[in-house]
Structure 1
Amino acid sequence: MNSYEPVPENTPHPPDASTQAGPRPGGLSPARVGTVVWGLIVVALAALIVVAQLRIVELNGTYVLIGLTLGAGTALVVGGLISARGRDKKTSTRKS
């Protein structure tokens, strides 16, 4: 049987829990850094569009794009480092 065939109804064991979709046994999983950063980019871009349409500030598209790219890149790198650091603390036994 390959992964594309459905599981027959008369199988002696249920499929592994690792292959079934659903929440993790420990509860809800935390939000991923990339998801949060992309959400912040969309919100910032929407806010800049509103500000530009209200003519409160004159915006240069090139500078806005450079600023968003720098901010997003920095947030992704810092968030990834923090996430990796937290993951290392959970898995280490602190035995040398």
Structure 2
Amino acid sequence: MTNATAVEAVIFDMDGVLIDSEVVYMNRLRWFVRDFLGKQVPEERLLTMVGATGNGHFEAVREYCPPDWDIEVFRSHYREFGKDKPIDYPGILFPDALPAL
């Protein structure tokens, strides 16, 4: 016999259910390219990353990155850039999310 605890519920958060993370991720990518690479990314270019994975983020801004960057170099710099800019998940939680749970 095990001491496993019964799971009463599992929540899968598709974007836009509990938080709207797309705006947060778009802004982080915009700030990375602006502050780290010194370039501006047009809004319509950033919109191509909505719903994308990390590869999609790189593809959205690849033309603004140095030519010798591949996805791994991008990820390394992007992670480092974000270390001192943590996402405030409680701050972006939709107001009705907690009462609904």
Same fold by TM-score, threshold 0.5 exceeded? no
Structure 1-normalised TM-score? 0.32
Larger radius of gyration: 1
